[in-house]
Amino acid sequence: MPDQTMSSTFDSAASTFEHQRSLPREVPEAIRAAIWSITGLSGPARVLDIGAGTGRIGRAFVAAGDSYFGVDTSLAMLQEFSIDAVNCTLTQADGNHLPFSDRSFDVVLLMQVLSGVDDWTGILDEARRVVRVGGCVVVGRSSNPEWGVDTQLKKQLKHILEDIHLAPFPTEQSRRQAMALLESLAARHTHAVAASWHVLATPNAFLLRHRTGARFVALPPNIQKQALEKLGAWAESTFGSLDAEFAETRSFEIDVYEF
């Protein structure tokens, strides 16, 4: 059964998810192209996307003619995906218990997933179970500059939550541990920057986006309110205005583990 708490968290964010976390159209296409280049795949493949969400990355695989299967715990997210998706299979399911046979996919995608889950070991076990011999598991994430607005705000939010006596979210630690395990098991590992693009970042955009972050909205409402108020005040003092714009270059990194 899907995790009901996490599912409801993403359900509430489904309608605004892509607007607040949009990627340039060419980025998902570049992600697919990079995977095909690294692995030597030719033509359409059988692809499983764990944590498919609203399809902001998966649509590129559907458009390319892959036999695409998207899985997510949130039905509302998948419904957003299905509005303009054809020739694909979308299934509400838990990544720890995939409803697919062993060795049934050429490519298994874990895009922006590992830093947002607690039981990543179960997801990796399932990903490795369903990928065919010679297939690959691909971990992907967007990356912001160290001096960027979002990076500074994330660090400050961590300090704020620590001051409230809450343990910080172990996002980066979880991701690194999961990737180290994959690397130890894979026949070959390749890291690549699939795409880069320019944005005008604002503190306000981060604040609006973070209100629907999966781990953040799981906090008690009073803690969320307190943390965002403190973060907003710090951002206004630091950047001069919540609407101040800063030019940044962002990128999408992938790690391809071939089995």
Q: Please write the tens of the pLDDT for every residue from 74-107.
A: 999 999 999 878 899 999 999 999 999 999 999 9
Q: What is the DSSP string of the chain?
A: ---HHHHHHHHHHHHHHHHHT---THHHHHHHHHHHHHHT--S--EEEEET-TTSTTHHHHHHTT-EEEEEES-HHHHHHHHTT--SEEEEE--TTS--S-TT-EEEEEEES-GGG-S-HHHHHHHHHHHEEEEEEEEEEEEE--TTSHHHHHHHHHHHHHHHTT-PPP-HHHHHHHHHHHHHHH-SEEEEEEEEEEEEEE-HHHHHHHHTT-HHHHTS-HHHHHHHHHHHHHHHHHHHSSTT--EEEEEEEEEEEEE-
pLDDT on residue 3:
47
Q: Would the pLDDT of 2 be above 50?
A: no
Q: 4-144+169-197+250-258 has which CATH code?
A: 3.40.50.150
Q: Would the pLDDT of 12 be above 80?
A: no
Dump pLDDT digits (tens) for 53-78: 999 999 999 999 999 999 999 999 99
Report residue 255 CA to chain centroid gap: 13
Dump pLDDT digits (tens) for 215-226: 787 788 899 999
- Cα-atom radius of gyration of the chain, to the nearest Å? 18
* Mean pLDDT lowest among 28-37, 202-211, 248-257: 202-211
Q: Would the pLDDT of 113 be above 70?
A: yes
C-beta separation of 175 from 220 below 8 A:
no
Residue of 114, 97, 111, 26 lying closest to 68 (CA atoms): 111
